[in-house]
Amino acid sequence: MVESGKLKLDRTKEGVKKYWDYGSKFYDTAPGNGGVEESQMWSKLLSGAIGPGPKNVLDVGSGTGIIAMYLAELGHRVTAVDFSEGMMDVARKKALEKGANIRFMEMDVENLNFEDETFDFITARYVLWTMSHPEKAVKEWVRVVKPGGRIVIIDGKWVTKGLLPCISAFNYHIYRFIKYGKNPFTYDYKKDINVSLPNPHGVESKQVVEYMSKAGLDDIAVTDLKIIRDIQRKRLPWYLKYANDHPIFMVHGIAVKNR
């Protein structure tokens, strides 16, 4: 199911939306992503963070629905929101193909159209760095989660360093241009968008911890997700081994309210 409406977005958010509407055509074509072993690891990590029993989960900035699909497979009731229509279209098609019962809604994740304390759990993968106001976004997510509920943020720092990773990243962009026709010069936001975002090239885990702490979350913990990168690398040809080797992590905390 997809619910949409006319969103009122500022200039920066419109630029981000346009970037991901185009990128939605190629997002799931990244070499090395997916596979049985990686899917099993994501399911294990999410199960460990969420705990047993079906829960009412909101996946913010869901993109092509990767995390939403894992959550649905684990038996949770999933609502997935994103302001990119292109991303939502891809996610919906994937859910229909797999028979996953996910509610998709077009929404600005910094301004959610939900009542307070609606969800048991909130997940956000690779989205906080795209936020115009990340601190506000986390506070908004805390608003709609129930007391004692958890918020899980998965993110990374998207800066390529070193000769070998730079060569590999170059090969990666050429690979996707040849195989899928993706413009190799659209790997970054435009300059006017970059300067409007506090974290245009990814976010450090300590910064995410700070956002979560200021939003009132307790028991904040950080998990290094190098194991995901190691699994992905095993599926890559030699010329792409370090193309997507940026550090990624998971930070989760508990919402404690009325203190």
Q: Is 12 helix (H, G, I), strand (E, B) or coil?
A: helix
User: pLDDT-derived band of residue 130, with 50, 70 and 90 as boundaries?
Assistant: very high
User: pLDDT-derived band of residue 82, with 50, 70 and 90 as boundaries?
Assistant: very high
Phi, psi (deg, nearest 5) at residue 3:
-115, 130
Neighbours of 116 (CB within 10 A): 10
pLDDT digits 0-9 by tens, 5-44? 467 899 999 999 999 999 999 999 988 888 899 999 999 9
What pLDDT is stored for residue 188 in this prediction? 87
What pLDDT is stored for residue 77 in this prediction? 96
Q: Which residue has the higher pLDDT, 33 or 103?
A: 103
What pLDDT is stored for residue 220 in this prediction? 97
Phi, psi (deg, nearest 5) at residue 176:
-70, -30
pLDDT digits 0-9 by tens, 233-254? 999 999 898 888 899 999 999 9
What pLDDT is stored for residue 18 in this prediction? 94
Query: Taking all residues of the chain, what is their mean pLDDT, rounded to a whole number?
Result: 93
- CA separation for the pair 98, 110 (Å, rounded): 29
Mean pLDDT of 133-149: 96
Q: Please give the span between the terminal C-alpha atoms of the chain, in angstroms, as a whole number.
A: 37
**Which domains does the chain carry?**
2-255 (3.40.50.150)
With a cut of 90, say whether residue 204 has pLDDT above it: yes
Proportion of the chain above pLDDT 70, given as a percent: 97
What pLDDT is stored for residue 4 in this prediction? 41
* H helices present in the chain, as ranges: 11-23, 36-50, 66-73, 85-98, 134-144, 163-180, 191-194, 205-214, 226-234
With a cut of 70, say whether residue 185 has pLDDT above it: yes
What pLDDT is stored for residue 254 in this prediction? 96
CA dihedral angle for residue 257, residue 136, residue 80, residue 19, rounded to 10 degrees: -170
What pLDDT is stored for residue 259 in this prediction? 53
What pLDDT is stored for residue 3 in this prediction? 43
pLDDT digits 0-9 by tens, 221-236? 999 999 999 999 999 9
What pLDDT is stored for residue 258 in this prediction? 63
Neighbours of 209 (CB within 10 A): 18
pLDDT digits 0-9 by tens, 46-78? 999 988 779 999 999 999 999 999 999 999 999
Q: Rounded to the nearest 10 degrees, what angle do helices 134-144 and 205-214 cross at?
A: 50
What pLDDT is stored for residue 213 in this prediction? 96
